[in-house]
Amino acid sequence: MAGRRQGRKSVKSKPVAVAPAARARASAGELGRVARRIRDSQGLTLAEVAARADISAAMLSRLETGRTSPSLETIVSLAGALGVRPSHLLQEIGVEDEGAQVVHAGQGLEVVRRGTKRGHTYHLLAAQRGPHKIFEPFLVTLTDKSEVFPGFEHPGTEFLHLLNGEIVYRLGRRSYHLRPGDSLTFRGDVAHGPEKLVKVPIRMLSIIIYGETPERVT
């Protein structure tokens, strides 16, 4: 009816959920702030550190402001340019006063391993203190069934535990069909990697343990 004011329904605002990707960028931002603090304490310019690390000044700026996720190789190069160990850049992320390190769901630092492609992401779940790297735990997510994945080789022993999805995992000349709850342990220097993504998304825990690699069984 003309002239009658219709009542408006009150709309309650809903809390905005923070996406896992945004939380991962927050962890990358923490790493960048640590790098910036070290650089400033040494009186080094952005250009000087970028040249030492063999990366562009623009890339270093994006790293320091958390606008990009660094590769493991970049973290190592940046640490060398700053004269610190890679673990020093990572150790302050999520570290409590008691020395414990907590990484909440979705907050692992997203890193790019050599050879990884679209649909293959790694989130580092812990950063170690001290001069020697003992282990590296990753949460690996695979989402693209059509992607062709490369083979990996690295020092140490790797432990895989499948959380979600279904995958055929290649190890040397053999293949293993893994389902949720299945685990696979192998030498890191044997060529390995996903062969077939049977059911996506796939999430698996990958722990690389460094130190002496067990001898091959003949």
Query: How do the domains of the chain map onto residue ranges?
Result: 134-218
pLDDT category, 51, cuts 50, 70, 90? very high
**pLDDT higher than 70, residue 91:** no
pLDDT value of position 23? 44
Nearest of 110, 113, 102 to residue 20 by alpha carbon: 110
More confident residue, 3 or 67: 67
Mean pLDDT of 184-191: 95
CATH number of 134-218: 2.60.120.10
Nearest of 121, 80, 127 to residue 101 by alpha carbon: 127
Is the overall model pTM greater than 0.75, yes or no?
A: no
* CA distance readout (Å), 89 to 33, 72, 102, 112: 9, 12, 16, 16
* CA distance readout (Å), 19 to 22, 34, 66, 106, 139: 5, 23, 16, 8, 16
Residue 90 sits at the vertex; the CA angle it makes with 86 and 96, to the nearest 5 degrees, is 140
- In terms of residues, how long is the chain? 218
